Amino acid sequence: MSAPLLEVQVHRKRLGGREVLRDLALSLREGEIAALVGASGCGKSTLLRLVAALDQDFEGTVRLDGRAVAAPSTAIRIVFQEPRLFPWLSVAQNIGFDGRGSAQDRARIETLLAEVGLPGLGERLPRDLSGGQAQRVALARALFVQPRLLLLDEPFSAVDAFTRVKLQALLLRLVRAHRIGVLLVTHDIDEAVALGERVLVLRSDPGHVAAQVEVPVEHPRDRDDQACAAAAAAVRRALHEVHAF
Ligand SMILES: Nc1ncnc2c1ncn2[C@@H]1O[C@H](COP(=O)(O)OP(=O)(O)OP(=O)(O)O)[C@@H](O)[C@H]1O
Ligand SMILES: [Mg+2]
């Protein structure tokens, strides 16, 4: 078996004098999507910030490709619930950061725009995009720097149900094409089971991985598949056991 892409050991993480995470361990392979579910406030966003080295004030280690992650880098990108685009920059400038990129960068931006289903929209301003389109731009921006790992914090919760299913399919295509690993935080059990190879169920106070549910179904998955339904039921049971409901 290949070495893990990501290995996380959080012995302890405190916030405001409270222990938010304790003895949390997880790992991820290249090209794997692991979904993280758990009650509101159990520490999911905190965990993503630690993994991205946006917060380094904790006891523990984060390793990417076997090396300690000591500072934020282009190898790890986060996408949030809201796209967080710069309103004064065009779509292309948002993806390429400042628009001063080379011709090669501009070609890459065009390729990424096509990949996320927005060909030719590089000159638009964010205010002229729908919520789903803006989130596609946020994904393209994350991919522009060719990360090894994408951290997604409820990335599709602000869009309607139809757009959400399309964005989920897009994410699967992107993960396959770019061979990246994904940690996906979601409150949607069906989404976790539709996308994740594994679903990690977090317990609160302090947060740690209480259960892990495998989803042994090849992509593209039929959401009505019995194995998917069984996995969703197992996730629901695990969430009950950790009193998330
Ligand atoms: N800066 C802070 N100071 C003190 N406590 C904080 C701080 N930031 C977050 N917390 C607390 O840490 C806990 C974990 O927060 P976090 O945002 O990681 O939860 P979450 O699992 O992402 O929740 P949600 O599902 O609602 O997004 C919460 O109880 C929150 O109130
Ligand atoms: Mg959160």
One-letter identity of residue 6: L
Q: What pLDDT is recorded for position 103?
A: 81
In 3D space, the residue among 45, 52, 44 whose CA is nearest the CA of residue 239 turns out to be 44
> Do 130 and 154 share a domain, yes or no?
no
Q: Identify whether 68 is part of a domain.
A: yes
If you average pLDDT over residues 68-97, what whole number do you get?
95
**What does the alpha-carbon distance between residue 79 and residue 84 come to, in Å, rounded to a whole number?**
9
For a substitution probing ligand 1, which of 12, 20, 48, 186 has the most ligand atoms within 8 Å of its CB? 20
- Mind listing the pLDDT tens digit for each residue in 27-40? 999 999 999 999 99
- Mind listing the pLDDT tens digit for each residue in 127-140? 999 999 999 999 99
Q: Identify whether 1 is part of a domain.
A: no
> Do 69 and 162 share a domain, yes or no?
yes
> Do 166 and 207 share a domain, yes or no?
yes
Task: Identify the residue whose C-alpha is closest to ligand 1 atom 29.
Answer: 41
Ligand 1 midpoint to CA 208 (Å): 14
**What does the alpha-carbon distance between residue 150 and residue 199 come to, in Å, rounded to a whole number?**
16
> Do 210 and 93 share a domain, yes or no?
no
Per the structure, the count of domains in the chain is 2
- Mind listing the pLDDT tens digit for each residue in 215-243? 999 998 998 899 999 999 999 999 999 98
> Do 161 and 225 share a domain, yes or no?
yes
Cα-Cα end-to-end distance for the chain: 36
Helices 131-144 and 161-178: crossing angle in degrees, nearest 10, is 10
Q: What pLDDT is recorded for position 102?
A: 81
Ligand 1 atom nearest to 49, measured from its CA: 18
Ligand 1 midpoint to CA 80 (Å): 15
Ligand 1 midpoint to CA 148 (Å): 26
CATH of the domain at 22: 3.40.50.300
Among 105, 130, 145, give the residue marking a domain's end: 145
Q: What pLDDT is recorded for position 3?
A: 80
Ligand 1 midpoint to CA 125 (Å): 32
Share of the chain above pLDDT 70, in %: 98
For a substitution probing ligand 1, which of 44, 50, 81 has the most ligand atoms within 8 Å of its CB? 44
If you average pLDDT over residues 83-108, what whole number do you get?
87
Among 145, 172, 194, give the residue marking a domain's end: 145
| Whether the CB of 46 sits within 6 Å of ligand 1 | yes
- Counting ligands in written order, which one lies closest to the CA of residue 55? 1
Ligand 1 midpoint to CA 47 (Å): 10
Q: Identify whether 15 is part of a domain.
A: yes
The pLDDT-based confidence of 70 (bands split at 50, 70, 90) is: very high
- Mind listing the pLDDT tens digit for each residue in 84-93? 999 999 999 9
If you average pLDDT over residues 64-68, what whole number do you get?
97
Say if residues 91 and 137 touch (Cβ distance below 8 Å). yes
Q: What pLDDT is recorded for position 98?
A: 60
Please determine, for residue 205, whether its predicted confidence score (pLDDT) is greater than 80.
yes
> Do 61 and 176 share a domain, yes or no?
yes
Q: Identify whether 81 is part of a domain.
A: no
Ligand 1 atom nearest to 16, measured from its CA: 4
Ligand 1 midpoint to CA 206 (Å): 11
In 3D space, the residue among 203, 195, 218, 184 whose CA is nearest the CA of residue 79 turns out to be 184
> Do 68 and 50 share a domain, yes or no?
yes
| Whether the CB of 70 sits within 6 Å of ligand 1 | no
- Mind listing the pLDDT tens digit for each residue in 109-120? 999 999 999 999
> Do 90 and 63 share a domain, yes or no?
no
Q: What pLDDT is recorded for position 99?
A: 56
> Do 48 and 67 share a domain, yes or no?
yes
Give me the domain span that covers residue 214.
6-75+147-241
Please determine, for residue 42, whether its predicted confidence score (pLDDT) is greater than 70.
yes
Q: What pLDDT is recorded for position 245?
A: 85
> Do 45 and 152 share a domain, yes or no?
yes
> Do 134 and 32 share a domain, yes or no?
no
pTM of this structure: 0.96
Q: Identify whether 106 is part of a domain.
A: yes
| Whether the CB of 19 sits within 6 Å of ligand 1 | no
> Do 48 and 63 share a domain, yes or no?
yes
Q: Identify whether 80 is part of a domain.
A: no
Among 114, 145, 176, give the residue marking a domain's end: 145
The pLDDT-based confidence of 100 (bands split at 50, 70, 90) is: low
| Whether the CB of 3 sits within 6 Å of ligand 1 | no
